[in-house]
Each structure stands twice: as structure tokens, then as C-alpha cells.
Structure 1
């Protein structure tokens, strides 16, 4: 089966990518830009609420990853040659390069601190690109379980994965660390990495990809629900957060399961109604993986500049962080890809001017995202 054009997935990927950049622009700005700390409480609450609503970004990339696998292999019994090797080259190797890049500030402390941070980044995802470790778990599961997934009734797999995913998140959302070594770190952020925390997104997206035409028909049939759902789940999300029922400040919340799926359905429905995807979103889609990898480095640089130059642009600082970090990431990806080894540093991108409308089974923004604190905001 050849590649087929699905514009709405390109649009969904670009929206998710921009959501993650905006999320970090708000979170980092509010945390590290001094004058933003003095904003009125109402402004802080509004920005914090926007951040919570944007948490669907990372789970959406899990969805896209599984959707592409389901869609691309729905008529194939075996995997394409080089299934894992291509992903190792153009997704995992850039991830490793970024692990070194984001550990570089630790070199100012000592070589030992730098080396430790590199190892933590690579093997347990101790920086914003942890998402890559998650999708590679699903690539491996797909390799070993494809036949079983294709032969098992979707409702059964989806139900079991939902129960597993929910139980997993309930444990880490509502219990305290147990008395074991490194339990605080596990409860704080490492529980993000194992696949049970994301398996529901994977299973439902895989079967949607295999039955995409039926899914689209359902979206049109229940369009009223599709159009209302994101607002209902969004309000519920904010209620649980601000009431203190679920205080987790990341995408690893149990209520994000419902919010993410409602946003995805809404975006796909909206994209289907568009005559064509605007060129800007096609560019974001094309560069999404590199943007995911690089944007936090530019946000950090901008924050340092704001501090050193004592620049005070008020709330517009967040807009500057968002726009400039996205633009600089794209320019970096474009020029680095002119180098022979560029695709192994920031991901493979065709630097020739051409629009991309299709689902590519080899290139996915795995998401993403930084220091331990900032990982909380993905």
C-alpha cells in the first residue's frame, strides 16, 4: 500500500506541536521571567488554566504514532524492511544528540555531572524529549504484537488498555511514594516513561487508523457531541485542577485521557471541513519533530536575554517566546539539514520547498521538552 494523503493528520500534528511550544512558553515564562511573577493573580490563573488545557499535546503525538501504524499497515501482514532501523536513524539518534545538548550546561559544574546527566537523559528520559522513549516502546510492542492486535476484537483491546492506563495513572495521581529507593523520583516523573501510562491512546488510535473511514463517518454522525466535547472535558479538567482534586501539573493526569480524545476528534472534524490546510501548518507539520527537540533551547536563550537586558514586555513576553522559539527552531532545522549529518542531529527533513500532505509511516513528531521542573509542564 502506498502513502495516502490525510491532510487532517498533518493539521493535527501541527496543532499539537504548537500547543507544546505555547505550553512551555507560558510555563517557563511564568517560572523564570522575573516581571511575569508580578502579574495580577487573575492573569496568573488564566495562564495557568491555559497550560492545563494544552496538556493534550503530548498524548496527541502518541495517538498520531499509533494512527500512522494502524493506517499504514492495515493491509499488510508483515512489517516493511528497515521498520526499526529507519526510526533508529532519524528519531532515536537525534534524541541522543539532544540528550548531549541539554546536558551541556552541567559541563560548567564538572565532567562527572555532565556525564551523569547525559546518561540520565538517554536512558530514563530526564529531559523534555522523554517522549521518544515512549514511542519506541510502542514500536517494539507493535513489532511483537501486530498479529495479535489485528486478530483481536478492537473493543476488547481498547477496554483492557483503558483499564490498565486508568489504574496506572490512578496509582501515581492519588497515592504517595512508597518506601523504596528513588520512589520520590519515580512518583515525580519517571512514571511518565513506561508504556502503561499511554497505552489507551495507542490502542484506540491504532484501530482508528485501521478503520479510518468508519471513524470519519462516526464523527459526522455525532458531530454535535464532537463539537461540544472539548469544552465539556476542558471545563471538567479545570474544575478538577483548581478544586485540588487532581493537582498533577502535567499531561499524566487521568482526566487528560478524555480531554485529549475530545480535542483530537474536534481538530480532525474541523480539518475535514477545510478546503485545504494553510501552508503555515504544513510547514509546522514538516518541521514538527525538530521543533519539538529544539524549541526549549531557544526559550532558555530568550529568557536569559530578557534577564540580562532587563527587557519588560509584560504578557507579550510569552508571545515572543512562542513565536521566536518556533521560528528559530525551523531555521535551525532547515540549515542543519543542508549538512550531510544534519538529519541525524535534528531529524530528517526535505529542505526542498514542497508541501507535505501525507501520512508518513517513518516520520513522526515522536512531542516535548528541559530540566526536571519543566518536564512537569508537558
Structure 2
């Protein structure tokens, strides 16, 4: 009898054992690059004259790159459902889940919220009293507004709170599992409609309902990942799935960047004259959300291609960037604030060269900062969260071992 039980446990452990997904680290690397591009071009898009020959380029990079947060949400949902869906859901499992999120997400979030609050207080503001400072900081901390990019953590926390309920619903309801993609889209757009016409919440971009389509697509991929991988080996299946995704992305990236270009150059008049009011009301939201959803799927696919096609050193480099992406996300605006204080607004050549230099430096320095903390500070997780040693392999050691 004991032998039977032992074999049963072993079989359950094998069933629950999941393969390490290098593709996800590669996808995170691609996504963090888009975040860095958007933030690096944010000053250029507001200072370069709209009639400049370079303005369309800045506009394209700044707008087409606005897919980082939705992609990270999709990848987070994928990882959670891929790892937790096959396992027995109980209090012990959920307790470990929340302890990890508090330690590795909330603690670094609180730390960096304090850092950004103090830095901006020193550089830009003169608050009247310590009571005012405390109240303002706690308010910003509670809604992810100590610095603009921290809203991502605020959204993530909302999804973490919802995760046990959503996991249970996906396990119980076959209809929800199979139709997760369009259900997520429906929930998101019902929220958009209700908020626009009834609620009027100004920080809707910090509300998780604004990202349900990305979360549910990630959940769907996580639950059916093994089946999808098998089917993708079939040329006909791959063709039928990838062609619509790439066509959708191509069309939407043109629509979204084009719409924002017209908005920034005061050229929306012709659109307002020709389209119905209901279309105009939701056009900006539709082009962003749909573009970002297609882009996330494209990144997810290209990560799988890269996992097979990248040479070993290139793959290791991108995997390290992916493994450090949360830390890079947290710290890069701090470095950007520093570089922006030396921005030369004189010669166009110098100015645009500085934009490129800034992107390179915030990417490199953010990555090196996370690596430095990981190697030399024992409780590194307080600053940048957890880094898995199996996924965060030192590139220098890898190269040395290969010699």
C-alpha cells in the first residue's frame, strides 16, 4: 500500500514539474527594451518641433514601444497559470505565493517609491511641512504614483489579490478556460465604457480592469501552453495562427502611431469630420489596447524563435537582461533623471546624439546596477526582488567556462 502511495506521489510530482522557460526571460528582455525606448524618447517627443524631419521617427519609437507594461502583465499571467494551474490549490500554496510577492515585489516597490519621492522632493518641490510630506508620500505609495512608472507594480498587486479567485474560476469553469481571450476583452471594454460614461475615474490606467485582455490571454497561454506548442509544430496550424497575429500587429501599429502623430501635430480634424462620435470617443483606447495585445503575442512568438536561433552567448546576454528586467524597470528612471539634467538643447546633432547616448547608458547602467547588487549585497532582494540563480547566470563566468 505504501509503495502504491509512493508511486502516486512520484507521478504527481512529475506531472507538476514544469520545464524552465528560457523563452519567458527572452520575452521579458524584449519588453524591457521597449520600456527603455519609450522613456528615452519621452523628452525628445515634447521638445523637437513637429515639423522636424526627425519628429515622425521619435513619434514612432515613442508610440510603437508602448507595449511594455501590457506585455509584462501578459507574461506574469502566463507564468502564474503555467506554474499554478496544474497544482492542487490550498492555503499553504497561496500563503507561499503571497509571502513571495510581499518580499520580492512589495518591499522593493516601497523602497523605490521612497527613493523617487525624496529625489523629486529635493529637485523640484518645496513642501510646507513634514505632515504634508507624510500624507503626500502615503497617498502616492497607495496608488503607485511616487513616480509614473510605478503604476505597473500597483496594477500587479491588484492582479495578485485577484489571482486565487481567478485560478479557482479557471479550474472550475471550462467555458471560462476555453473562451478566456474574448471574455478578457469583453471585461476590459465593458470597464472602459462604464468608466468613460459613468465612473469617470481619472487614473484608469492604474486600474487592473484596463488590462484584463492581456491578463486573460496570458492565462489562456499558460493553461494550454503544452498543447499549443505541440500544435505549432504543424505548418498549417502555425500559418493560420501567426498570419492573423502579424497582420493585426502591422495594421494596428500603423493606426496607433498614425493616430498619435496626427494628435501631436493637430491633424485630427479630418478624422473628427469623417468618423462617428462613438468611434472617435474610443479610437485612442482601441488603437493602443489592440496594438499592445498583438505586440505582446508577437514578442511571445519571437522569444520562442530567439530561444532556438540565438547563439549561446547572445541568448545568455538576453536572458540576463530578462532576469534583471524588474530591477531595471525600477531603477532606470532614476538614471534617466540624472542624465536629463545634462541634456544639451543646442545643436540638433548634439541633442539627438544625446538621446541615443542616454538610451544606451540607462540600459547599460541599470543592468550593471542590478548585477552589482546581486553579487555584492547579501539581501539584494530588498532592493531588486528575487533573482533566480538558475536563470540569472553570470555572463562573464559563462564566457570564461567556454574558453
Q: Which residue of 1 aligns with 2:219?
A: 206
Equivalenced residues, count = 339
1:122 to 2:141 alignment? yes
Q: Which residue of 2 aligns with 1:367?
A: none
Higher relative contact order (CA 8 A, sep 6+): 1
Q: Distance in 1 between matches of 2:59 and 2:151?
A: 23
Larger Rg belongs to: 2
Map 1:235-314 → 2, pairs under 5 A: 235-243=254-262, 244=268, 253-274=285-306, 275-277=308-310, 278-306=315-343, 313-314=350-351
Any unmatched runs of 5+ in structure 1?
Answer: 357-378
TM value normalised by structure 1: 0.79
Q: Distance in 1 between matches of 2:390 and 2:214?
A: 33
Q: Is the 8 A contact 1:166 1:254 kept in 2?
A: no
Q: Aligned in 2, Cα 1:45/1:120: closer, same or farther, shift over 3 Å?
A: farther
Map 1:76-115 → 2, pairs under 5 A: 76-78=87-89, 80=93, 82-104=96-118, 105-107=120-122, 109-110=126-127, 111-115=130-134
Q: Which residue of 1 aligns with 2:187?
A: 164
Q: Distance in 2 between matches of 1:118 and 1:63?
A: 29
Q: Aligned in 2, Cα 1:318/1:136: closer, same or farther, shift over 3 Å?
A: same
Across the aligned residues of Structure 1 and Structure 2, the Cα RMSD in angstroms comes to 3.0
Map 1:290-369 → 2, pairs under 5 A: 290-306=327-343, 313-337=350-374, 338-349=376-387, 355=393
Q: Is the 8 A contact 1:103 1:114 kept in 2?
A: no
- The structure with more helix, counted as a fraction of residues: 2
Please report how far the alpha carbon of residue 55 of structure 1 lies from its aligned counterpart in structure 2 after TM superposition.
Answer: 1.1
Map 1:210-225 → 2, pairs under 5 A: 210-216=223-229, 217=231, 220-222=238-240, 223-225=242-244
Q: Distance in 1 between matches of 2:86 and 2:388?
A: 28
Q: Distance in 2 between matches of 1:353 and 1:258?
A: 31
Q: Is the 8 A contact 1:165 1:200 kept in 2?
A: yes
Q: Which residue of 2 aligns with 1:26?
A: 41
Q: Which moved more, 1:52-61 or 1:214-223?
A: 214-223
Q: Which moved more, 1:4-13 or 1:59-68?
A: 4-13
Q: Distance in 1 between matches of 2:116 and 2:359?
A: 19
Please report how far the alpha carbon of residue 139 of structure 1 lies from its aligned counterpart in structure 2 after TM superposition.
Answer: 1.4
Per-residue Cα deviation, 1:97-124 (whole angstroms, up to 9, x for no partner): 0110110121562344543442133101
Q: Which residue of 1 aligns with 2:54?
A: 43
Any unmatched runs of 5+ in structure 2?
Answer: 1-15, 263-267, 272-278, 395-403
Q: Distance in 2 between matches of 1:62 and 1:129?
A: 14
Q: Distance in 1 between matches of 2:109 and 2:39?
A: 19
Identify the match of residue 144 of structure 1 among 165, 171, 174: 165
Q: Distance in 1 between matches of 2:390 and 2:78?
A: 27
Identify the match of residue 69 of structure 2 among 37, 58, 74: 58
Q: Secondary structure at the match of 2:112?
A: helix
Q: Distance in 1 between matches of 2:346 and 2:108?
A: 33
Map 1:174-185 → 2, pairs under 5 A: none
Q: Aligned in 2, Cα 1:323/1:53: closer, same or farther, shift over 3 Å?
A: same
Q: Is the 8 A contact 2:324 2:370 kept in 1?
A: yes
Per-residue Cα deviation, 1:247-267 (whole angstroms, up to 9, x for no partner): 99xxx9332332223223323
